Structure 1
């Protein structure tokens, strides 16, 4: 085996271990909250030596930042999926987003709670703030598509989505897509470029 192949193999193994640590962190936050995150807990969940966590991450905050950024990547994937199903008008867009929110509250409830816990932790831990803001910046850019959408309308849309999800998480019964749709339709009306046909 050449030195290059050996180096590539080590790099791939290292990336797999780093990924296992991040996935384990997300599971621990889902199950136990941020308070449950420690080197020992993550190592046990990931099935790796505790020392390896310090090799990849400089501390718990660094690990939480990386986990939060992973959530941003998932958000980008969800938005891309919605764009693949890009509807013809604002009413249909409202439906697609409503269905995604309902999924986040039902099937992905634990993950949604974990993401919001990390998101809110940024209020207390400045190191997490850039990562917490990034999801809004990325999502807003996806909605705008460099078309100069009204910045206030985009901000209102995401602030409202945050509020709807937070309220939904404490509701007695998880809201359905039908419950989210009317408000989303109202919020999307100023963003009529979403209904424009794509080339």
Structure 2
């Protein structure tokens, strides 16, 4: 399938965010990154706000595609355990600094937060309100571990080696209790 110019522009904008942060997204920086004229970007996005809103939607979609790839099916077809495993693996294997920056930036604007929240609502259970359910608590700890490693990768100047990062993702995923059976929680070290 041929990628559209609009998607190319949004991918270029994501690279700008990855490299320079959210504030660096301007018609000029995105046009230069995409190899287009400023007019070519304006044709697709009549304002910077339109481009930023579209970028939130685009990046949330790319992030969800990573989760689908991690479990081999969309959220609607996956069990609760499979969805959380997909989230953990995607957070460790394909989530980017740009996605984290955009999620943080989007949290202050309901329209920008909406696509991220929709993805989260499909893939992860809500935070438990108490620790009386050990499976829900263990699942939430796995989510926090995945989020923490994603934050580490996004904020440090010393990224983890890819093999080590993948091993950590597998460890986190292996500790997620299976809610489809009545088995006990995995032993802790």
- TM-score over 0.5 (shorter chain): yes
Sort the Cα spacing of 1:177 and 1:33 in 2 relative to 1 into closer, same or farther, 3 A: same
CA distance in 2, matches of 1:114, 1:47: 20
Counterpart residue number, 2:129: none
Q: Which residue of 2 aligns with 1:166?
A: 151
The offset of 1:162, in angstroms, is 1.8
With normalisation by structure 1, the TM-score equals: 0.61
CA drift at 1:80: 2.5
Q: 2 CA distance for matches of 1:169 and 1:123?
A: 17
Residues 1:138 and 2:128 are matched in the alignment:
no
Q: Is the 8 A contact 1:38 1:60 kept in 2?
A: yes
Given that residues 146 and 172 in structure 2 are in contact (C-alpha distance below 8 angstroms), is that contact kept between their aligned partners in structure 1?
no
Q: Identify which of structures 1 and 2 has the higher relative contact order when contacts are C-alpha pairs closer than 8 Å and 6+ apart.
A: 1
1:113 is the counterpart of 2:97: yes
How far did 1:122 drift? Answer: 1.2
Q: Deviations over 1:73-124 (max 9, x none)?
A: 2233222322239xxxx8xx96x876655434xxxxxx61111011100133
- From 101, 106, 111, the equivalent of 1:127 is 111
Tell me, in whole angstroms, the C-alpha distance in 2 between the residues paired with 1:84 and 1:102: 16
DSSP 3-state at the match of 2:124: helix
Cα distance in 2, alignment partners of residues 73 and 115 from structure 1: 11
Structure 2: give runs of 5+ residues left out of the alignment.
Answer: 74-80, 126-134, 182-189
- Cα gap change, 1:124/1:72 in structure 2, threshold over 3 Å: closer, same or farther? closer
Q: Residues 29 and 36 of structure 1 are in contact (CA less than 8 Å); yes or no, is this contact kept in structure 2?
A: yes
Q: What RMSD, in angstroms, separates the aligned Cα atoms of the two structures? A: 3.8
Gaps of 5+ in 1: 1-12, 105-110, 142-149, 195-199
Q: 1:1-199 residue pairs with structure 2 within 5 A? A: 16-84=4-72, 100-104=90-94, 112-140=96-124, 157-170=142-155, 174=160, 176-186=165-175, 188-189=176-177, 191-193=178-180
> TM-score, normalising length from structure 2?
0.63
Q: Which moves more between the two structures, 167-176 or 73-82? A: 167-176
